[in-house]
A and B are shown apart, each in its own frame.
Chain A
Amino acid sequence: MLNIKRCNIFHLNRDSRGSALVLVLVIVTVVTVIVNIMLIGSLLHLHLIKTDLYQLQAQYLAEAGVYKTMWYLSGRGGKDYRWRPKNEVIELPDGYVCTVSVEQWGGYLRVVSTAQYAKATKKLQVLVGEKPSFPFQQAIFIGGTDYPLVVAGKNRIIGDVTLGKEGVRQGTLPGTPFQSEQLVNGRIYRQPQPKLPYFNAFLLESTMTKNQLLLDNPQGQEIFHSQRFDQTNWPTFEQNLMIYVHGDLYITGEVKIQGPGTLVSTGNLIIADKSKLEGSLWLISGGKMIIRNGVRITGCLLSAQGDIEISDRCKIIGQLFSSGDIILRNHAEVGYPAVIYSVGTMQHDKIEGKIILQDQAIVRGTIIFCSKNHQPPPKKDETIVIVEKEAKVIGVIYSENNTTVHGTVYGTVITGKFFLYEPPTIYLNWLKDATIDRTKLPNGFLLPLTFTKTPHLDVVIWQSCN
């Protein structure tokens, strides 16, 4: 019995030795795996840090591409602001390269720059504008008349003023005593026969021309009747789609439409009821464009053959182009970098097309009125740009013709002359109850590319595409 037991025990012992070896192998394997994981972890960490570095290097190269492109667009390297490269490779210092594209976006240019460093690629999209030149350092620049600027009522003019040799005077209107502390809080530059600063409507006009072309040549998805988009049938844009409506187009019912894309309506275009439109959307109307009831529009171009009316706390970050009137009322706001452009057409000694801001409307950007082919001002005097009491412009007003300001302008007013109508009398180059303060224009404010032959460019908006 004893022998048998010993034999069994020895048998077990042999098994135990085998188990130990297996156990050692398992432990060695586990330890090796743990060590490898640790090393891989360290390598992965290094890889992530290097990837971050390459992304940063690619980012700065893409920025370099943007600035090199702006250098070309400023009229250097044998090119100018009309240069439109499409995925063109440009050379940077140290043998680096960058791919750039330029396209027009209303009054601005859109530059897309793509750069690669090691395995990292960075794509930047920027909106390019023009740095304000000398006339835009003034609070007021009057370039169409030798009449003196007559200041009446309670005005605040802070900043320099450039105007004709008659200078600035104090005036009194019936029932309205002069209440201003001083005529101008700044220097007054008098010039014989002052002229408006250089103005080139190339980009603005080509936007209007393209609108007309899109209206005249139906493309994309055509709808042969008036259409209403609401929450049940709002369009989704894919691959820069165009929807062309033969008739009126209504966008209502808190619709959310994301660009890029183009919406064309041969009739009126009405957007209402807290609808949201964003992305690079181009809205074109052959008739009127009416936007009301808390609509939010971001990064869009709005263009109408007829009037554009925006009201009821609608907020738009975009550019408005019209051959008719542009009217903002009831807390409507057009945010920076706004361009509001109306091209006036002379009809029976009267200019069609006005820009009117009422009821606490706000514009942050540039308001431009110019008559078609720069025709002389109409014989029948009337106001072309009106900033009414409680309305505000943070930016620039440029009007070849008459301007009336009863509200606030934080920036510059460049105009042919001021216009005041106190029934039954018309006062030419009078200013009443206005605030024009150049010092409150934010630093870095940029204009659309319209005011110099060789513009000094800068970036309005940066946007990373990856």
Chain B
Amino acid sequence: MGVKTYNPVKDIHGYTIVETLVASAILLGVLIPAAFILGKLTIGSYSRQVLVATQLAREVMEKTLASEEYHYREMDFQRDNKHWKVIREVNYTDGVVDIRVKVYRSKKHKPLVELMTLRIVP
């Protein structure tokens, strides 16, 4: 009575559970969002850029083929809250015109997407 008994089992057991939960919480709370954000920011962002660039390239190419406007042109687009530059290049050779549509993210030198096709001109 009145004597406080030492209970090592209770203490150690409690500490282990806490340790486990904390470790789990760190892993779940930090690593998963981190991986998610990392994936989204790097691969996801790049995927999104390629997707938008592909859609833009297709759109410009189809409009070019439908309107038969076979001449050089630079175009600016705002898509997905980003600025895009699309360049249409044409090259005439002996009754044939080859058409290239290149899609750039601003201030980048290499096109993200490039499409090439060919048409006959009178």
Q: Which residues of A contact B (CB under 8 A)?
A: 9-10, 12-13, 16-17, 20, 23-24, 27-28, 31, 34-35, 38-39, 41-43, 45-46, 49-50, 52-53, 56-57, 60-61, 63-64, 67-68, 70-71, 74, 76, 92-94, 96, 456-457
Give CA–CA (A156, B83) in the complex, Å: 56
Give CA–CA (A289, B57) in the complex, Å: 50
A38 touches B36 (CB 8 A): yes
Q: Are A71 and B95 also in contact (CB < 8 A) when A17-B12, A42-B44 are?
A: yes
B32 touches A35 (CB 8 A): yes
Q: Are A12 and B16 also in contact (CB < 8 A) when A27-B23, A45-B44, A67-B96 are?
A: no
B44 touches A71 (CB 8 A): no
Give CA–CA (A145, B45) in the complex, Å: 73
A46 touches B50 (CB 8 A): yes
B-chain residues with CB within 8 Å of residue A38 when the two chains form the complex: 32, 35-36, 39
User: Which residue of A24, A50, A53, A61 is within 8 Å of B20 (Cβ)?
Assistant: A24
Interface residues of B in 13-40 (CB under 8 A from A): 13, 16-17, 19-20, 23-24, 27-28, 31-32, 35-36, 39-40
Give CA–CA (A61, B113) in the complex, Å: 15
A-chain residues with CB within 8 Å of residue B74 when the two chains form the complex: none
B-chain residues with CB within 8 Å of residue A94 when the two chains form the complex: 98, 116
B94 touches A16 (CB 8 A): no
A31 touches B9 (CB 8 A): no
Contacts A24-B20, A49-B50 aside, 19 further interface pairs with beta carbons under 8 A come to: A17-B16, A31-B28, A34-B32, A38-B32, A38-B36, A39-B43, A42-B40, A42-B44, A43-B43, A46-B43, A46-B50, A52-B54, A53-B54, A53-B113, A61-B117, A74-B120, A92-B98, A93-B91, A96-B116
Give CA–CA (A60, B117) in the complex, Å: 5
Q: Which residues of B contact A (CB under 8 A)?
A: 8-9, 12-13, 16-17, 19-20, 23-24, 27-28, 31-32, 35-36, 39-40, 43-44, 46-47, 50-51, 54, 57-58, 61, 91, 94-96, 98, 113-120, 122
Distance from A412 Cβ to chain B, minimum over Cβ atoms (Å): 21
Chain B's interface: helix, strand, loop or mixed, by majority? Answer: helix
Count of A-B contacts judged by CB separation below 8 Å: 113
B-chain residues with CB within 8 Å of residue A17 when the two chains form the complex: 12, 16
Q: Are A31 and B31 also in contact (CB < 8 A) when A20-B19, A42-B43, A46-B46 are?
A: yes
A93 touches B50 (CB 8 A): no
A-chain residues with CB within 8 Å of residue B114 when the two chains form the complex: 57
A-chain residues with CB within 8 Å of residue B51 when the two chains form the complex: 49
Distance from B98 Cβ to chain A, minimum over Cβ atoms (Å): 4
Give CA–CA (A459, B84) in the complex, Å: 33
A93 touches B95 (CB 8 A): no
B9 touches A12 (CB 8 A): yes
B-chain residues with CB within 8 Å of residue A68 when the two chains form the complex: 96, 118
User: Which residue of B12, B27, B122 is within 8 Å of A13 (Cβ)?
Assistant: B12
Give CA–CA (A12, B13) in the complex, Å: 10
Distance from B81 Cβ to chain A, minimum over Cβ atoms (Å): 19
B16 touches A50 (CB 8 A): no
A-chain residues with CB within 8 Å of residue B28 when the two chains form the complex: 27, 31
A56 touches B58 (CB 8 A): yes
A63 touches B54 (CB 8 A): no
> Can you list 16 pairs linking A and B with CB atoms under 8 Å apart?
A16-B12, A20-B17, A31-B27, A42-B44, A49-B47, A49-B50, A49-B51, A53-B50, A56-B58, A64-B118, A67-B117, A67-B120, A70-B120, A76-B95, A92-B116, A456-B120
Distance from A462 Cβ to chain B, minimum over Cβ atoms (Å): 12
